Amino acid sequence: MFDTALSANDLVFLAKGAGITIVVTAISVVIGTILGIIFGVIRVQLGAVLSAPLTLFLDIFRSVPLLIQLVLANAFVGMVLQLQLSGFFVACMVLSLYTSAYCAEIVRGGIDAVPTVTRRAARSLGMSWGQDMRYIVMPLATRVALPSWIGLALGVMKDSALVYVVQVTELLKSTQILITRLQEPLFLLLICGAFYFIISFPLARFGGYLEKRWSND
């Protein structure tokens, strides 16, 4: 017979950690997506040469491991800037920039996928640049970029497990605390995985629903 020392309070503790994971992910994905759209449009409009400094900035966030970014950002804020910012704020800041770096590339690829002749036709009809972007480019680019964006959002959710290094007790850190106390690693990791599945499954299915609906239009 299976026996465990896990209590209802421990499950509540894990649920709170899952809540932190959801909040950190939501904030980072929303801010990162907004910044990514801005950065992606700038890269397309300025071209490869003029946008080179921005591209280098984004490449740094794509190339340096997230764990190192979190440690360096936390040290920079505390030791160099002498600011007393919470680990939660630092985690959201770094994850937002990390997300924006990948989202910018997704946006750039989506915009580049829109046929040039389509954009020229829109401008020949008297549309302004803003109207062209709003009514022609963005709707078409969104269909191309959505699968990659869904994957990015799910990746950020899983990468948020690294924010424990800045003293944020998210889902995985909560699980590690319980493992240390209860000494039931396999069972607790199974529960942790179930929580991650519950969090990510609706987003994955929603993305699949949108893809299927748009493909039938």
Separation of alpha carbons 68 and 81, rounded Å: 18
- Inter-residue contact 44 to 142 (CB < 8 Å): no
Q: Tell me which residue has tokens 């299976």.
A: 2
H-type alpha helices, 113-184:
116-124, 129-131, 138-159, 171-182
Residue whose C-alpha is closest to residue 145's, from 187, 52, 207: 207
Collapsed DSSP state (helix, strand, coil) of residue 160: helix
In a domain, 1, yes or no: no
Long-range pairs of 147-153 with CB within 8 A, sequence gap ≥ 24: 147/207, 147/211, 148/106, 148/109, 149/33, 149/103, 149/106, 150/203, 150/204, 150/207, 152/29, 152/99, 152/102, 152/103, 152/106, 153/25, 153/29, 153/203
Residue 4 lies in a domain: no
Q: How many C-beta neighbours within 10 Å does residue 62 have?
A: 11
Distance CA 54, CA 77 (A): 22
- What would the two tokens of residue 197 be? 């599945």
Range of the domain at 77: 9-215
Give a yes or no: residue 61 inside a domain: yes
Domains identified in the chain, total number = 1
Structural domain contains residue 206: yes
pLDDT digits (tens, 9 = 90+) for 178-195: 999 988 999 999 999 999
Sign of CA dihedral 83, 89, 93, 94: positive
Whole-prediction pTM value? 0.90
Residue 124's pLDDT is 83
pLDDT confidence tier of residue 126, bands split at 50, 70 and 90: confident
Q: Are 103 and 35 in contact (CB under 8 A)?
A: yes
pLDDT at 129 over 90: no
pLDDT tens figures, 75-124? 998 887 888 889 999 999 999 999 999 999 999 999 988 888 888 888 78
Q: What values do phi and psi take at 119, rounded to 5?
A: -70, -40
For residue 75 the two structure tokens come to 């040290």
Write the CATH number for 167.
1.10.3720.10
Query: Distance between CA atoms of 88 and 167, rounded to whole angstroms?
Result: 8
100 neighbors 35 (Cβ within 8 angstroms): yes
Is residue 2 in some structural domain? no
In a domain, 3, yes or no: no
Q: Are 100 and 32 in contact (CB under 8 A)?
A: yes
Please report which confidence band the pLDDT of residue 66 belongs to, taking 50, 70 and 90 as the band edges.
Answer: very high
Q: Is residue 191 part of a domain?
A: yes
